[in-house]
Every structure is written in C-alpha cells, then in structure tokens.
C-alpha cells in the first residue's frame, strides 16, 4: 500500500472489492476508470485517486486488471486471513449471520452460537452448536475464536463485550442497537440497521421533484 489511506477511501474499499468480484465473475478482465466509476457512481477522477492511494494499478489506455486489483484490495482488507467467529445471540439476526455463505467464502468461519434461551441450545439450522452464555469463558478459548458478532438485545450487549474482551478477543461486529464502550485496543464495527433506514428516509424527503 502506498502512503496514507484516508477513512473515506477505506469506507469505499468494500464497494471496490464487491464490484471487482462481480466483474471477474462476469468474465471481464480489464476495466477503465470511466466504466468502474459508472458502476460505483463515482467520477473517473475519484476512481483514479483512490486506486493510486492504495498502490496504483493500470496503464493509460488499458484500464485496470480486474483480478489483480481485486486481490490487492482483498489483501489490504485482511480477507486473506482465516477468522473463527462466534455469534452471541441465536435469534433472527444471529441465525441470519450464521447462514450467510458469503462470509465463509471470505474467510470468516462461524464455529458456534451462544444464547440464554434454553429452547435454542441445540444445533442451529446449519448444524452449528448453540451453547449457553454461561459457558462463554470456557468455550471461546477452546474454539479459538478471534471475532465475535453481538446479536443481542441492547441491555445485554455491553456486559457481553466486557466478557469477550477479558478473554483476549479484540474484534467485535455489533448488531445490537446501542453504541458500546470499549478499550482503545479493541475494534468494534456497528451495524445499526435503523441508521440506514433513517438515511433512506432523509434522502427520500429531500429528493428533487422530477
């Protein structure tokens, strides 16, 4: 990677990766900044700036090599490393995350779910074990988990994060509808579904009349 990469570019990297993967699946080997910009709703200039920021690819008049650029971005995002993930909460969101085949394809392997509801303490739909939350301290080290997804009610999420941190796990994917407090040596990414809906509502409210 060349030079400093801004937060704005980092936020766009997943979009680049997704579009490049789709292009590769379509059998496209080269793409210009104009064509990639049209797919991503970015200007060709922005495409060139972003790609130069992460190392520079392509030649003028030839465009970007799709596979090489995709793999470069995959490496930058750490997707070439295998991760073992546990999901705390075996409700609808937890099961939806565990059922998503795409996560495993990118190296995030769900190994177990945890819940406080005795009725859910059995194998999930995809055969994954569902353990009681009381066994968290014993099971997570045993399962060699490095990532935890929190699919819990807001009231239970902070305590769960604190327990996970005490076990040495530093990566949290938070689906609970609450902003959690966490130490500086922990990475927490929030997935607040309502925020996306509110953004949609705002943009709908401010659309210009056609």
| CA–CA gap between residue 189 and residue 173 (Å, rounded) | 5
Question: According to DSSP H, which parts of the chain are helical?
Answer: 7-25, 33-40, 44-53, 66-76, 92-99, 101-105, 136-143, 154-166, 193-205
User: What does the block give as tokens for 19?
Assistant: 């579009």
Q: Class of the 83-195 domain?
A: alpha beta
Domain edges within the chain: 7-76, 83-195
| CA–CA gap between residue 73 and residue 96 (Å, rounded) | 26
pLDDT in tens, the chain (210 residues): 445 678 899 999 999 999 999 999 999 999 999 999 999 999 999 999 999 888 877 666 678 999 999 999 999 998 888 999 999 999 999 999 998 878 888 889 999 999 999 888 876 667 899 999 999 999 999 999 999 999 999 999 999 999 999 999 999 999 999 999 999 999 999 998 888 888 889 889 887 654
CA atoms within a 13 Å half-sphere pointing along the CA-CB vector of 92:
1
Output the pLDDT for position 1: 43
| CA–CA gap between residue 22 and residue 52 (Å, rounded) | 22
What pTM value is reported for the model?
0.81
Output the pLDDT for position 18: 95
Output the pLDDT for position 193: 83
Spatial neighbors of 27 by CB under 8 A, at least 6 apart, are none
Looking at domain 7-76, its CATH architecture is Orthogonal Bundle (1.10)
The alpha carbon dihedral of 17, 19, 25, 29 has a sign of: negative
Output the pLDDT for position 119: 83
Fold match, 7-76 / 83-195: no
Spatial neighbors of 100 by CB under 8 A, at least 6 apart, are none
| CA–CA gap between residue 32 and residue 52 (Å, rounded) | 14
| CA–CA gap between residue 32 and residue 36 (Å, rounded) | 6
């Amino acid at each position: 990677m060349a030079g400093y990469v801004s937060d704005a570019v980092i936020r766009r990297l997943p979009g680049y990766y997704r579009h490049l993967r789709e292009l590769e699946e379509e059998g496209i080997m080269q793409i210009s900044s104009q064509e990639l910009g049209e797919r991503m709703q970015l200007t060709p200039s922005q495409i060139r700036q972003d790609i130069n920021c992460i190392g520079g690819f392509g030649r003028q008049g030839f465009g970007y090599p799709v596979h090489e650029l995709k793999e470069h971005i995959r490496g930058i995002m750490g997707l070439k490393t295998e991760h073992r993930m546990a999901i705390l909460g075996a409700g609808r969101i937890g099961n939806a995350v565990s059922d998503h085949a795409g996560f495993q394809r990118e190296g995030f392997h769900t190994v177990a779910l945890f819940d406080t509801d005795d009725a859910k303490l059995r194998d999930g739909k995809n055969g994954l074990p569902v353990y009681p939350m009381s066994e968290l301290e014993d099971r997570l080290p045993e399962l060699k988990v490095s990532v935890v997804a929190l699919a819990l009610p807001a009231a239970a999420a902070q305590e769960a994060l604190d327990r996970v941190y005490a076990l040495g796990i530093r990566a949290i994917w938070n689906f609970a509808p609450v902003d959690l407090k966490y130490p500086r040596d922990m990475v927490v990414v929030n997935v607040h579904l309502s925020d996306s809906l509110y953004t949609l509502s705002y943009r709908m409210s401010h659309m210009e009349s056609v």
